[in-house]
Amino acid sequence: MSETRRDSATKDEKDQQLERHRVDAAGELTTSTGTRVDDTDNSLSAGGRGPTLMEDFHFREKLTHFDHERIPERVVHARGAGAYGYFQVYEPLSRYTRAHFLNDPSLRTPVFVRFSTVAGSRGSADTVRDVRGFATKFYTQEGNYDLVGNNIPVFFIQDGIKFPDFVHSVKPEPHNEIPQAQSAHDTLWDFVQLQPETMHMMMWVMSDRALPRSYRMMQGFGVHTFRFVNANGEGTFVKFHWTPKLGTHSLVWDETQKIGGKDPDYNRRDLWDAIERGQYPEWELGVQLVPESDEHRFDFDLLDPTKILPEEQVPVTPIGRMVLNRNPDNFFAETEQIAFHTANVVPGIDFTNDPLLQARNFSYLDTQLIRLGGPNFQQLPVNRPVADVQDNQRDGYGQHYVHRGRTSYFKNSLAGGCPYLAGEDTAFKHYQERVDGQKIRHRSDSFQDHYTQATLFYNSLANWERAHISAAFQFELGKVEHRHVREGVVAHLNHVDHDLAVDVANGIGVDPPERAVANHGRSSPAVSQATFPGTVYSRQVAVLVADGVRAAEVTALRSALAEHGALADVLGPRDGTVRTDDGSNFEVDRAMSTVASVLYDAIVVPGGADNATALSGDGLALNFITEAFKHHKPIAAMNEGVDVLGRAPLPSLRLANSGDDGVRTDQGVITNRGSDDQGLRQTFIETLARHRVWDREVASVPA
Ligand code: HDD
């Protein structure tokens, strides 16, 4: 697979640069200094049973290198996955920014994107409840630009000086290092109840946003208000939005926990597999633009990272698209060693005084120094800009450049004055913002409203989304041991929405509060996931089969799905083949026991009398159906396959009866008996495109 990628004639500049560093296994084994080695299984010893000799340089080198293979994991966002691709702007944005890559629509700027969870260690599960990192490095011709965002548009805190406090509270507790990659524990919720600025973010983290179905199906946000600067030095406030082509979709909570055991690499694998299949993930980049003169037009502070700029007030303008089309060759070299930094900017993109952003501009460089072992991490292949580097920086651990000549200072005359200062038209110019004030430690009064937008978010959601939030608070707080912490959070929720607070209080055994304030009733529909379009493209469907299956039904379904870019996995009782109803052999893709219902978007049970009898007596198959129902997934059954559904512990449904000739749909369960297979396939595909059947009644289903 990687060969095809490498042989491609369409290598971008970054790919060509990386090519110089790629190494393929070939030839004879050597030491790291190139000496040939003919035995790497037996250490040099004094006699067959004697002690190992110090002289065995190969043994010592092999062990020493191994002993030093690990580097510190990222203090946050340790668990991640990444890929290369490109970004292309639609139209020149010269009115707002002079950034070259945002002004040339013919240019494909290479990118590397790393997605991540925040709290868990490098080896933690992908599907935990958490914010997801969405960090993009643009290798522009004017230097690297890093947009280090998240899949949630707001943040936990307003000032970066609180970041260590927040992270200490959400990470596993220090005395016993429990729980791993979970927010459901006392210290996080203690922090929350004492720091009400967290409330807006906590509403998002308790929502389905924290359980993405796929990295390919999440939005990304720059979070802060940044600043575009044009060639005249004029600034415009800007907020960045990534919108996935596949829509924004989530898993359900019970499902995420099961996937954590069945396939902890679920999101990582999904990204990798989609790219290897050629189903390249794609996002549109959009911006919200606010003229400098409108800085104080809103009922919140644009510099406050716990606030969104509602799209209904300032619409998102699409400006370009990003495609991820190449997996890394080596996880450590590329995905682990990539170093993002919010202060990696290019001319035309600048900061604002958001105190969280200001802190980040310190922290990211600092963290790379310890994580990557010194000041030369920008020379690592994945971090190298495609733009020329002439920086007069010298020496340090792991220096890779061989700088020639006698000078490494400015000004010099001995190297002809090189490198000399960049010209007006190419240099980064800091935006000339007027700043004046007294030195004080005081959070601006304009940062003090912590509830209005938390309520706005809640008001904007569909009923099922709200129900998920309430259930999430009840789960998380239900794990909290300290009663006063539970009560403290409920008291804040009471300022967000009284009914929510009462619901949560009742669920966690604390006294429901009296109404404190009235819900302001405003909403921002754009934040609801119910509004996002869907598609079946790249969705995974499990088709359950056993001996006696009517293979024609499976084949027709598979090609109908393939037409839309969806994938069918035929799951049999064992690997190999099953017998069909006409006595031939039919190949299965996997044994049912090696996968699980939670790894699929939908389930189909085809017909065939013996097939139905076998599946009806197979607990695993019945569990697939039951769990899929519980998790709101589309289920289809054809002919005798309909009988299998009757064996699963589902609520009573209107299923196709014998003698019917037509498709029946009840709560996303689609059945037919008779000849209308095509109608069934069409209804199934339409239902799958809507992702989940949220209005289904699942409470009584034992899964
Ligand atoms: Fe951060 C990593 C996103 C606030 C300090 N952060 C990191 C990554 C993402 C974000 C996506 C992983 C990058 C990668 O894949 O390598 N962080 C955010 C967002 C924030 C935010 C969207 C708020 C808007 N971060 C934030 C603050 C601080 C940090 C306030 C410190 C003051 N973040 C770090 C860090 C990390 C990091 C410690 C750990 C590893 C790294 O930087 O490279 O410096």
Q: What is the pLDDT of residues 311-323, one digit of tens each?
A: 999 999 999 999 9
CA-closest candidate to residue 149, choices 236, 240, 213: 240
* CB distance 62 to 279 below 8 Å: no
Is the beta carbon of 361 within 6 A of some atom in ligand 1?
no
Going by alpha carbons, the residue nearest to atom 12 of ligand 1 is 77
Is the beta carbon of 364 within 6 A of some atom in ligand 1?
yes
Instruction: Using the mean position of ligand 1's atoms as its centre, give its distance from the Cα of residue 134 in Å.
Output: 10
Instruction: Using the mean position of ligand 1's atoms as its centre, give its distance from the Cα of residue 449 in Å.
Output: 25
Q: What percent of the chain lies above the pLDDT cut of 70?
A: 99
* Residue 655 CA neighbour count, 13 Å, CB half: 22
Is the beta carbon of 222 within 6 A of some atom in ligand 1?
no
Going by DSSP bridges, is the β-strand pair 540-544/567-572 parallel, antiparallel, or unpaired? parallel
Is 280 annotated in some ligand binding site?
no
Per-residue CA distances from 271 to 45, 113, 331, 538 (Å): 48, 11, 13, 11
Is 364 annotated in some ligand binding site?
yes
- Classify domain 457-530 by CATH number: 1.20.1370.20
List beta partners, residue 570: 543
Is 74 annotated in some ligand binding site?
yes
Q: Report, at the CATH architecture level, how domain 534-688 is classified.
A: 3-Layer(aba) Sandwich (3.40)
Instruction: Using the mean position of ligand 1's atoms as its centre, give its distance from the Cα of residue 550 in Å.
Output: 53
In terms of Cβ atoms closer than 10 Å to its own Cβ (0-12, 13-18, 19+), residue 341 is: buried
Is the beta carbon of 73 within 6 A of some atom in ligand 1?
no
* CB distance 505 to 513 below 8 Å: yes
> Which band of pLDDT confidence, cut at 50, 70 and 90, is reported for residue 9?
low
Instruction: Using the mean position of ligand 1's atoms as its centre, give its distance from the Cα of residue 53 in Å.
Output: 47
Tokens of 257: 């926990």
Domain-by-domain residue ranges, the chain? 80-155+201-379, 457-530, 534-688
Supply the residues annotated as catalytic.
Answer: 77, 150
Is 132 annotated in some ligand binding site?
no
Is the beta carbon of 608 within 6 A of some atom in ligand 1?
no
**C-alpha to C-alpha distance for 613 and 608, rounded to whole angstroms:** 9
Tokens of 677: 């297979």
Tokens of 265: 């690499």
Is 114 annotated in some ligand binding site?
yes
Instruction: List for the chain the helix, strand, coil content (%; round to 5).
Output: 35, 15, 50
Q: With helix as H, strand as E and coil as C, how does 83-138 read?
A: EEEEEEECCCCCCCCCCHHHCCCCCCEEEEEEEEECCCCCCCCCCCCCCEEEEEEE
Q: Check if 457-530 and 534-688 are the same fold.
A: no
Is 394 annotated in some ligand binding site?
no
CA-closest candidate to residue 523, choices 466, 454, 475: 454
Instruction: Using the mean position of ligand 1's atoms as its centre, give its distance from the Cα of residue 433 in Å.
Output: 25
3-state secondary structure (DSSP) of residue 672: strand
Tokens of 414: 């001995």
Per-residue confidence (pLDDT) for residue 674, from 0 to 100: 84
> Which band of pLDDT confidence, cut at 50, 70 and 90, is reported for residue 10?
confident
> Which ligand 1 atom is the nearest neighbour of the CA of 116?
15
3-state secondary structure (DSSP) of residue 307: coil
* CB distance 601 to 643 below 8 Å: no
Among 360, 362, 372, say which to mutate for ligand 1: greatest number of ligand atoms within 8 Å of CB. 360
Tokens of 152: 């949630």
* CB distance 631 to 660 below 8 Å: no
Query: Residue 4: is its pLDDT beyond 60?
Result: no
Q: Report, at the CATH architecture level, how domain 80-155+201-379 is classified.
A: Beta Barrel (2.40)
Query: Residue 600: is its pLDDT beyond 50?
Result: yes
**C-alpha to C-alpha distance for 172 and 168, rounded to whole angstroms:** 8
Q: Which residues contact 170 (CB under 8 A, 6 or more apart)?
A: 118, 119, 183, 187, 188, 191
Task: Dump pLDDT digits (tens) for 480-516.
Answer: 999 999 999 999 999 999 999 999 999 999 999 999 8
State mean pLDDT over 84-109: 98
Is the beta carbon of 148 within 6 A of some atom in ligand 1?
yes
Q: What is the ipTM, given to two decimal places?
A: 0.99
> Which ligand 1 atom is the nearest neighbour of the CA of 362?
32
3-state secondary structure (DSSP) of residue 543: strand
Task: Dump pLDDT digits (tens) for 176-235.
Answer: 999 999 999 999 999 999 999 999 999 999 999 999 999 999 999 999 999 999 999 999
Among 75, 77, 171, 338, say which to mutate for ligand 1: greatest number of ligand atoms within 8 Å of CB. 77
Is the beta carbon of 80 within 6 A of some atom in ligand 1?
yes
**pTM here?**
0.97
Residue ranges of the alpha helices (H) in 31-76? Answer: 57-67
In terms of Cβ atoms closer than 10 Å to its own Cβ (0-12, 13-18, 19+), residue 494 is: buried
Is the beta carbon of 305 within 6 A of some atom in ligand 1?
yes
- Alpha-carbon dihedral angle through residues 348, 351, 352, 355, given to the nearest 10 degrees: 170
Going by alpha carbons, the residue nearest to atom 34 of ligand 1 is 364
Per-residue confidence (pLDDT) for residue 661, from 0 to 100: 75
**C-alpha to C-alpha distance for 443 and 160, rounded to whole angstroms:** 12
Instruction: Using the mean position of ligand 1's atoms as its centre, give its distance from the Cα of residue 191 in Å.
Output: 19
List beta partners, residue 666: 669
Instruction: Using the mean position of ligand 1's atoms as its centre, give its distance from the Cα of residue 468 in Å.
Output: 27
Is the beta carbon of 356 within 6 A of some atom in ligand 1?
yes
**C-alpha to C-alpha distance for 101 and 92, rounded to whole angstroms:** 9
**C-alpha to C-alpha distance for 270 and 279, rounded to whole angstroms:** 11
Type of residue numbered 589: D
State mean pLDDT over 512-540: 95
